Amino acid sequence: MSAHLTIDPHFTVGAIDRRVFGGFVEHLGRHVYDGIYEPGHEAADAEGFRQDVIELVKELGVSTIRYPGGNFVSGFRWEDSVGPKEERPRRLDLAWHSTETNEIGLHEFSSWLEKVGSDLMLAVNLGTRGTLEALDLLEYANIAGGTALSQRRIDNGKTDAFGVKMWCLGNEMDGPWQLGHRSADDYGKIASQTAKAMRQLDPSIQLVACGSSSAHMPTFGEWERVVLTHTYDDVDYISCHAYYEEKNGDLDSFLASAVDMDRFIESVVATADHVKAVVGSEKTIDISFDEWNVWYIDRYHGVDKIEGIDNWPVAPRLLEDLYSVADAVVFGNLMISLLKHADRVTSASLAQLVNVIAPIMTEPGGPAWRQTTFFPFSITSRLAKGVALEVKLESPTHETEVYGVVPQVDAVATHDVEAGESAVFLVNRSRTEAMTVTIDVSALGAVQLRSADTLADDDVYAKNTLEAPERVAPAANTTASLAGGTLTIELPPVSWTAVALGA
């Protein structure tokens, strides 16, 4: 079977904001403790951070990291996480039914971010706390000195301000599972009040209002409309969250998950622009897709979930999904979806980074390794620069139970005019048919094929595990050829491919 693409650098979607390659670290399971932080490990540095994990996060190419949650933040008291470690209280984390030791807090995490080369994106607790506590944290983090809270930061060892530029106004406040869950009207009011107050303190910050935690929430759409009606002139972003999993053996629908992400983004954009017109604003609200991934939520509820009034473990094994080739293909397709909407999705956070639904896994006292999903993220983060291009795609289609008729091939291209570099990212969603894709790249001028990496396997459920950490990896330079302005790529069934072109 065959498909055809046309790439022209004149037809742009929008500039690619590096923050779209962001990540997410939550105090959840073994993400922080036994993940990024394991003082007794042979690879630990002087601060207890695993250097093997640091190197993998750097290889992943994560720009901005959202912290400390997630559901965790709605019960979090930020003051617990600063000051001498021996004086920090142990608290019960109601979100994940665990005990939080507060060994790692704002100062330690900021130090880790410097090691991995990422920027900090902070979430404030609008679940069990409110405007005053958000202001206190902002003053502690961003005011250079001369106040009680800035002096407290200095006394705690950080002379310079953290200078956090991007802040989330709570987390998933539309969800009944969330501590402090509110209606859209009530959340919109407190988000507006908090945003106005935070901007009085630091006008330079960017603020993210909570959108829907899923496009399948019963309040989706109306939630965005009401929240943005309250906050439109106070915030810069509305958030989107989406997770996908294969259900009931329906691989065809799972492989088409990005169709749902496309619709989700376009619906939120339409709602935001509707509110813009109604309130008569001149600015445009962008999307922070600050939670996205493949997550087997049904397995969490059936296997992992912790219960019992006397059962509050520290760093339990939670949400440690092992990802297959099929998962990685869907994951790569979700990245394609984000890039296809680069004009409005200018920030995104892969949830999460280590052990917890993560591209990186570790074993206490043992190795760290790359999951299958590591590769689409690291390669796309490295190659996707400049602007996203609007490709013209002709592809066969097939029927799916959940999403109806979908293209078998999905694709996006990027172009960096200054560097003279371009990239093409493709997926073949077919379970059975290989696909020959021809791409007209003549409008790019004289270019050469620099690399082609394909992630595929005869066993679409093959995984990288502790016992076989390198079972799956991309195959390089085996799928593409370039001649006469036509790039030809052979896509195996259930595959993700990245191609780099240069002058």
Residue 370's φ and ψ, nearest 5 degrees, are -90, 130
Residue 350's φ and ψ, nearest 5 degrees, are -65, 125
Distance between CA atoms of 295 and 185, rounded to whole angstroms? 30
Mean pLDDT of the chain: 97
Active-site hit among 79, 108, 133, 172: 172
CB atoms under 10 Å from CB of 481, counted, come to: 11
pLDDT for 436 equals 97
One-letter amino acid for residue 236 of the chain:
D
The verdict on whether 172 is a catalytic residue reads yes
Quick check: 485 and 441 in contact, CB under 8 A? yes
CA distances from 417 to 18, 21, 472 (A): 16, 20, 34
pLDDT for 430 equals 98
Q: Which residue ranges in the chain fall short of pLDDT 70?
A: 477
Quick check: 206 and 164 in contact, CB under 8 A? no
- Helices and strands in the chain: count of H runs, count of E runs: 11, 26
Please tell me whether residue 410 adopts helix, strand or coil conformation. Answer: strand
pLDDT per position as a tens digit, 32-87 = 999 999 999 999 999 999 999 999 999 999 999 999 999 999 999 999 999 999 99
Length of the chain: 503
Supply the pTM of this predicted model: 0.97
Active-site hit among 26, 224, 291, 390: 291
Among 295, 367, 322, residue whose Cα is nearest residue 70: 295
pLDDT per position as a tens digit, 142-154 = 999 999 999 999 9
pLDDT for 477 equals 63
DSSP characters for 181-217? ---HHHHHHHHHHHHHHHHHH-TT-EEEE---S-TTS
Please tell me whether residue 287 adopts helix, strand or coil conformation. Answer: strand
pLDDT per position as a tens digit, 8-27 = 999 999 999 999 999 999 99
pLDDT for 312 equals 97
The verdict on whether 100 is a catalytic residue reads no
pLDDT for 479 equals 82
Torsion angle of C-alpha atoms 497, 500, 501, 503, degrees rounded to 10: -170
Give Cβ neighbours of residue 470 (< 8 Å, ≥ 6 apart): 369, 464
